[in-house]
Amino acid sequence: MTAPTREDDAPEPSAVPARETILPVASGSQVIAHTRRVMAKRWRELSAVVALYMMATIAGLIPPSVLGSIVTAVQHGTTAHTIDLDAAVIAGALVAQAVLIRFGSLAGAKLGEALLATFREDFIAGVLGLPLSTVERAGSGDLMTRSSRDINALSVTTRQGVPAMLTAILAVALTIGAIAIDNPVLVAPCLIVVPPIWAVARWYLRRATAGYLRESATWGVITDSLAETVEGARTVEALRLAQARRARADADITECFAAERYTLRLRTVFIPGAEASYILPLAGVLSFGGVAYLNGWCTLGQVTAAALYARALVTPMEQLIDWLDHLQLGAASLARLLGLAEVPADRQPGSAAPRDDRLRAAGVSHAYVPGHDVLHQIDLDVDVGERIAIVGPSGAGKSTLGRLLAGVSGPDSGEISVGTVPLIELPLDDLRGQIALVTQEHHIFQGTLEENITLGQPDASEASVRSALGAVDALDWALALPGGLATAVGAGGLMLSAPQAQQIALARLVLANPHTLVLDEATSLLDPRSARHLEQSLSAVLDGRTVVAIAHRLHTAHDADRVIVMEDGRISESGPHRDLIKAEGAYAALWRSWHGKSPKQHRHAGLTQNDIPQDPVHNPVDNSSTTASRGG
Amino acid sequence: MRQLPVADPGTPDLRSAHHFFMWLMKQQRASVLLGIVWGCAWMVAQALVPAVIGSAIDALAGRRTGAFTFDCLAVLGLGVLTALAGVLRHRRVVMNFLDAAYRIIQLVTAKSAALGNTLAKLITTGEVVSVGTADVDAIGSGVDVTGRGSGAVVALIVVAAILLARSLPLGLIVLIGGPIMTAVVGVLLKPLHHRQQRYRDQQGALATRAADIVAGLRVLRGIGGEPAFRTRYRDQSQQLRFSGVHVARTESFLDAAEVLLPGLFVTAATWIAAHYALHKVITPGQLVTFYAYTSFLAVPLATLTEAADRIVRSQVAAGRVIAILRLRPEVADPEQPSAEPLPGATLIDPESGLTVPPATLLALASDDPAAMARLADRIGGYIPDAGPRLDDVPLASLPVASVRSRILVAANDAHIFAGPLREQVSGASLKPEQAVLAAVSTASAGDVLEAVGLDGALAARGRTLSGGQAQRIRLVRALLADPEILILIEPTSAVDAHTEAAIAASLRTARSGRSTVVVSNSPLLLDQADQVAFIVDGKVAALSTHRELLVTNEAYVAAVARAGEL
């Protein structure tokens, strides 16, 4: 068994933030040790399977031997009765073989299914236990591959590959054993093929796994590109990319063809070697046997039986060779599935309990790439029940600050604490009870709508689910679904729209009931008016809680107790909306132009001008109530 | 050695699935024939081995050493031939498979690109992708199996000739009994396929569950609920396990039957043959030959069954492929194209009363933003037989490619393709670095450029970008396309106010001398426009500047002022 390779684990090409990680892969020895541990637990079943397979193979070896004795008997003269008897023995052996195969195959399948279930359940348990920061960083591509392709590959290996290999190995060994019993001299020609076959198989297997992985990856690329051409067909037409897409397909095919040619070259060496391995023993046994017979060392029946045995080696040899590279793939997949166990824990939970609910960041700096700080010395005290809005241009570090404030990972330097306990020292379950983070990323899980909301609180009552939905303006459409709250949603069920999914994400949060919430553009997918309305309904529910909202719409800032303007990883302005407007800084200018005022000089960036709006009708601060009902 | 892909996949014969399949074969006629030749040689070489073994046994029995030596060498020779023909056949059919598969992918790609905007109305991505994977595979396999299939037929004929020449009754028993036995086992396997299908469905459902957990992991890890998910997965996994054992129970009986039934047939045939041998009707060697053939016959018979199955599947798959290749785009080139209007033409849409003069930044505000996409589609020439024109020339009377090159409708759902950033924003032809940097600056996308790098890769659908980043990359691409008339639909809906202000401020300069239509209700953008057309019920209700409209038009104020959101 070779050490599993990592070539195919390249992470998704990523943009933000730079992700340095891919998930680890278990080493060859770890895979072997784990397999051994699992097998040891099922030692009895395993021996039963091996014993049944072995007996079945032995029963299958009886007919050629009997036929050999018929040949000898016919040669020397015998009775019809003897032949009838011999035929009955062959039939009996067959029946025995069939019965043994029936039980062996079932026992093997039971064992295989049990192992497979263990492997995949352990894997999913591992996925669910991954540190939050790893999950945030790793992207889903690698995990997705492991959960789909690797579980599948392992399934094929366990369900079909292992039994086939076991049968084949036993068949080859026992057949050669049978030849030895028949006439030990004739074993030699079977064994002479071993060294060349060994060499060819070794050469092939060393290259095959990587070769086939590359091959299937290139087919994957072809499929992906085609899917893109189809999905983006309108864009292809609009930007006149047809030629480029055809060229893309041709380039993908060229890659694929190179990979195919490589594996074809491997097989060009391997196939003649493999084919020769079937026929050489036969030719050898026949010639050796012939010489032995002519010299009177054995009977014609023994030569016949040996030749038939040699011919019977073909099938198990083929199987053995066929499944060897599958087995390698299975082992590589297992290595990736077991690799999750190697992810180090990222929290050092202590025993200290927070004194109060006060969130505090002190001297926080953070970098994704060493040397490129995205946050510089941020200090922020959040009062209990305070609503803070963070605004600022893209890339200012708003989302990073949000993640750190929610305790997803620890800052590189400085400290973020709740009630004087650093977030990173809180056990995950406690942390979740204190602070929750909702980003614009959303996901509807397979299940009912209700299950999607109660995730963390399986005991939540329907009434509380309804009120959570009501708080996010989602109750009306939820009840209007074909099955109401019991409607199956997510993969395979009803597909909710992105804005609806975002409302569900917020409903989960309402139900989870933490004292502090970090909302990172949590309503960005809703149209502006619905978002506005949702935020207002939500604010009723969140009354008394601490909210840190990162927003690209300025009305969120307008409603907040305090606005924090971030630029280049620093806090450039901070204070209540009114104060910032009075201060006539960049925020004030932005607010006016964003709000639809018509300042006199407005041709430049709009961030530096400081004239006061002259339009008395639309005072930004006072006209909040009249049209709220238009939302939703 | 062939080089694939071919430069031009050719014009396929779309009359029927069968015609298409034969067309694929004809494109590589010589190679397919060679595959058949090697397939026959390979199978026949294997088919002769039992006869030679029998002959060798007889030679030994008669102590004819010369004949025996010859037979041994013959076995060896047949072995070498099997190996050689086997690998040559394999190389040939893999190439044939690839030729067919690649050709179909080229055709489907070209067709999808040509269908453009129409595609989504006629067919789902899933359907095309399944054609590009499963169906390509099925058709390739159909092409591939011709070699082995023909070999199996020839091998059966050879075996029949050998057996019948040795003994007519024994030959008939083997030749009639063999296929019957194959058919019986085939019938027994049917219900198993059913059960296996159910198992695979369950397996698929479990895989979906796992994918669901992984896809939602970040959400789940933020809010809790892992134990419930672990339990749910385990329950489903255990169900799959027991259903697997259930299938295995049936399978185990069939495994046994697959050994027992042909085995009993072999035994019966051997028993009769042994009696023949006892009465010297056949020689001991021929007895061995009969015995060996009774089991060998299963190989060509199984190959034939498989070939038939694959050919049928490939025809079905070919049907799906031609269904796609036959589709036609909705907006077609006119038969008699009009003369191209000169550059700097005015775009006029009589239906809405909209006029886009040359070198203008025109903003479209509306009372119903959701309905604006259709207006954009119409003036962009995406709706067949609609009335918009460039100066006096109706869009419908111009070649589609020409309309697309002059007018670009840039929407937020435009696809971001995987590939290097510079290449992907460049569109049809690679743009100079200076131009890319200028467009990046106009679209305030410097942060994306910094994170990805000019030659760094964008992921398909821009999935590694945030919504705001993806939107600005689309804007960069639209600006670089530099069309005469650029129609931007809500180009800043997903960016923060700071960035929106910056984009609004630089858009005008970047597009100076060209026409730009911005569909948006954002005051930041509206204030930058030379003119704002206020669209009510799909028609131009007012045309003026933003400031003017703010004072004069109450409906406009209600639609665009952020007060409406408060």
Q: Do A101 and B524 touch (CB under 8 A)?
A: no
Instruction: Give yes or no for residue B203 having a pLDDT over 90.
Output: no
Three-state DSSP state, B27: coil
Task: Read off the amino acid at residue A7.
Answer: E
Q: How far is it, in rounded angstroms, from Cα B503 to Cα B488? A: 13
Tell me the pLDDT of chain B averaged across its residues: 89
For residue B109, the SS3 value is helix
Contact A190, A76 (CB under 8 A): no
Lowest mean pLDDT of A296-310, A612-626, B279-293, B471-485, name the range.
Answer: A612-626
In A418-447, which positions are buried (b, 16+ CB within 10 angstroms) versus exposed (e)? bbebbbbbbebebbbbbbbbbbbbbbbbbb
Give the residue from chain A lying closest to B7, CA to CA.
Answer: A250
Angstrom CA distances, A57 to A62, A67, A173, B259, B293, stand at 9, 17, 10, 11, 21
Kindly state the percentage of chain A with pLDDT values over 70.
89
Interior/surface letters B32-46, b for 16+ CB within 10 angstroms, e for the rest: bebbbbbbbbbbbbb
Q: Which of B56, B110, B210 faces A151 most closely, judged by CB atoms?
A: B210
Average pLDDT over residues A234-245: 93
Going by pLDDT thresholds of 50, 70 and 90, the confidence category of residue B81 is very high
CA A197 to chain centre: 37
Q: Please, is A345 exposed, middle or buried when counting C-beta atoms within 10 Å of its C-beta (0-12, 13-18, 19+)?
A: exposed
Going from the C-alpha of A62 to that of each of A178, A309, B293, B432, the distances in angstroms are 9, 10, 18, 78
Average pLDDT of the residues of chain A? 82
Hey, is the C-beta of B207 within 8 angstroms of any chain A C-beta? yes
Q: Flag whether pLDDT at B112 surpasses 60.
A: yes
Cβ(A253)–Cβ(B102) below 8 Å: yes
Query: Å from A377 to nearest chain B CA?
Result: 21
Whether residues B205 and A80 touch (CB distance < 8 A) is answered with no
Query: Which residues, other chains included, contact A159 with Cβ-Cβ below 8 Å and sequence gap of 6+?
Result: A109, A112, A113, A116, B244
Over 70: is that where the pLDDT of B356 sits? yes
Please check the confidence at residue B95 and state whether its pLDDT lies above 70: yes
Q: How far apart are CA B449 and CA B464, in angstroms?
A: 13
Q: Output the pTM of the full model.
A: 0.80
Measured distance CA(B551)–CA(B535) in Å, rounded: 17
Both structure tokens of B64: 């004819």
Inter-chain residue contact A290 with B86, CB threshold 8 Å? no
Site of tokens 């009372």: B367
Q: Does residue A18 have a pLDDT over 50?
A: no
State the alpha helices, DSSP H only, in B327-466.
372-379, 400-406, 421-426, 433-442, 446-452
Q: What SS3 state is found at A208?
A: helix
Task: Please state, in angstroms and as integers, the Cα–Cα distance from residue B465 to each residue in A308, A317, A468, A498, B410, following that order.
Answer: 65, 51, 30, 16, 18
Cα angle value A551/A557/A559 (rounded, 5°): 125
Residue B6 has pLDDT above 90, yes or no: yes
Total CB pairs under 8 A between chain A and B: 546
Q: Who has greater pLDDT, B35 or A369?
A: B35
B16 conformational bin, left if phi > 0, alpha if psi -120 to 50, beta if neither:
beta
Range with the largest mean pLDDT of A2-16, A315-329, B320-334: B320-334
Q: What is the pLDDT of residues B265-313, one digit of tens each?
A: 888 888 999 999 988 888 989 989 988 888 788 788 888 888 888 888 8
The residues in B 315-374 lying below 8 A from A, measured between CB atoms, are 369
Q: Residue B351: which of B188, B535, B509, B123 has the closest Cα?
A: B535
**Nearest to B305, CA basis, from B101, B156, B86:** B156
Q: How large is the average pLDDT for residues A46-72?
A: 91
Which of residues 465 through 484 in chain B touch A, CB cutoff 8 A? 465-469, 472, 477, 481
pLDDT of residue A19: 36
Chain A residues closer than 8 Å to B60 by CB: 290, 293-294, 300, 303
Largest CA-CA distance found in chain A, in angstroms, rounded: 125
Q: Per the CB < 8 Å rule, is A233 touching B450?
A: no
For chain B, positions 46-65, list CB contacts with chain A under 8 A: 49, 53, 56-57, 60-61, 63, 65
B401 touches chain A (CB under 8 A): yes
Instruction: Identify the pLDDT of residue B48.
Output: 94
Q: Is the pLDDT confidence value at B427 over 80?
A: yes
Q: What percent of chain B has pLDDT over 90?
A: 50
The pair phi, psi for residue A570, each rounded to 5°, is: -125, 160
* Whether pLDDT at B436 is above 50: yes
How many whole angstroms separate alpha carbon A83 and alpha carbon A74? 9
Contact A94 B267 (CB under 8 A): yes
- Our CA angle for A234, B519, B478, nearest 5°, is 45
**Do the chains contact at A260 and B238, CB–CB below 8 Å?**
no
Question: Which residues in chain B have their CB less than 8 angstroms from residue A288's CB?
Answer: none
Give φ, ψ of A373 to 5 degrees: -65, 130
Rounded to 5°, angle at Cα A294 from A290 and A296 = 115
- Any residues with CB less than 8 A from the CB of B207 and at least 6 apart, and which? A147, A148, A151, A152
pLDDT confidence bin for A596, thresholds 50/70/90:
low
Question: To probe the interface with A, which of B417, B422, B429, B449 has the most A CB atoms within 10 Å?
Answer: B417
Q: Which residue of A has its CA nearest to B259?
A: A98
Out of A91, A529, A603, the one facing B264 most closely (by C-beta) is A91
Q: Are residues A226 and B129, on separate chains, in Cβ contact within 8 Å?
A: yes
Q: Give how far B158 is from chain A: nearest CA, Å.
A: 20
Which pair of tokens denotes residue A398?
A: 């708003």
pLDDT digits (tens, 9 = 90+) for A295-340: 988 888 888 888 888 888 878 887 887 788 778 778 888 888 898 8
- In this structure, are strands A421-422 and A435-438 parallel, antiparallel, or unpaired? unpaired
- Asked whether the ipTM of the predicted complex exceeds the cut of 0.85, the reply is yes
Interface test mutation site (partner B, options A235, A264, A503, A553, max chain B beta carbons within 10 A): A235
The enclosing H or E element of A268 equals helix A242-294
Per the CB < 8 A criterion, the answer to whether A596 and B561 are in contact is yes
Q: Do B212 and A446 touch (CB under 8 A)?
A: yes
| Per-residue confidence (pLDDT) for residue A605, from 0 to 100 | 37
CA distance A537 to A548: 17
CA distance A567 to A571: 6
pLDDT score for A537: 77
* Residue B517 in contact with partner chain A when CB distance is under 8 A: no
Which of B84, B208, B497 has the CB atom closest to A554's CB atom?
B497
In this prediction, residue B347 carries a pLDDT of 94
Among the listed residues B48, B45, B50, the one whose alpha carbon sits nearest the alpha carbon of residue B288 = B50
Helix or strand holding residue B43 (H, E): helix B29-61
Helix, strand, coil fractions of chain B, as percent rounded to 5: 70, 10, 25
Comparing C-alpha atoms, which of A397, A336, A428 is closest to residue A132?
Answer: A428
Helix (H, G, I), strand (E, B) or coil at A379: strand
Any CB–CB contact under 8 A between B250 and chain A?
no
pLDDT(A621) > 50: no
Give the CA angle between residues B52, B54, B57 to the nearest 5°: 110
SS (H, E, C) A3-59: CCCCHHHCCCCCCCCCCCCCCCCCCHHHHHHHHHHHHHHCHHHHHHHHHHHHHHHHH
List CB contacts (< 8 A) between A144 and chain B. 211, 214-215
Which residue has tokens 């009510």?
A: B536
Decide: helix, strand or coil at residue A497.
Answer: coil
The Cα B506–Cα B29 span in angstroms is 60
What the block records as the tokens of A530 is 């619905």
Average pLDDT of the segment spanning A43-65:
92
Q: Which residues, in sequence order, are CB contacts of A29 under 8 Å at separation 6+?
A: none
State residue B94's pLDDT score: 94
Name the pLDDT band for B562 (thresholds 50, 70, 90): low
- Per-residue model confidence as pLDDT tens digits over A420-448: 899 888 888 888 888 888 887 778 888 89
Q: For residues B482 and A509, what is the distance between their CA atoms, to the nearest angstrom?
A: 45
Q: How far is B149 from B36, CA to CA, in rounded Å? A: 8
User: In chain B, how long is the greatest CA-to-CA distance?
Assistant: 119
Phi first, then psi: give them for residue A549, nearest 5 degrees: -115, 125
Q: Cα–Cα distance between A165 and A148 in angstroms, integer?
A: 24
Indicate whether B379 pLDDT > 80: yes
Q: Is the pLDDT of residue A1 over 70?
A: no
d(CA B409, CA B518): 10
Interface of B with A in 283-302 (CB under 8 A): 284, 287-288, 291-292
Which band of pLDDT confidence, cut at 50, 70 and 90, is reported for residue B28? very high
Residue A559 has pLDDT above 80, yes or no: yes
For testing contact with chain A, the best of B57, B117, B203, B512 (most A CBs within 10 A):
B57
The whole-angstrom distance between B11's CA and the closest CA on chain A is: 15
pLDDT tens per residue, range B233-275:
999 999 999 999 988 898 888 888 888 888 888 888 889 999 9
Nearest to A80 among B278, B409, B497 (CB): B278
Q: Answer yes or no: are the C-beta atoms of B115 and B327 closer than 8 Å.
A: yes
Interface test with A, best of B90, B92, B109 (most A CBs within 10 A): B109
Nearest to B162 by CA among B243, B7, B44, B275: B44
H or E stretch at B458: strand B457-458
Nearest-CA distance from B177 to chain A in Å? 17
How many CA atoms lie less than 13 Å away from A142 in the CB half-sphere?
26
Q: Which residues contact A81 (CB under 8 A, 6 or more apart)?
A: none
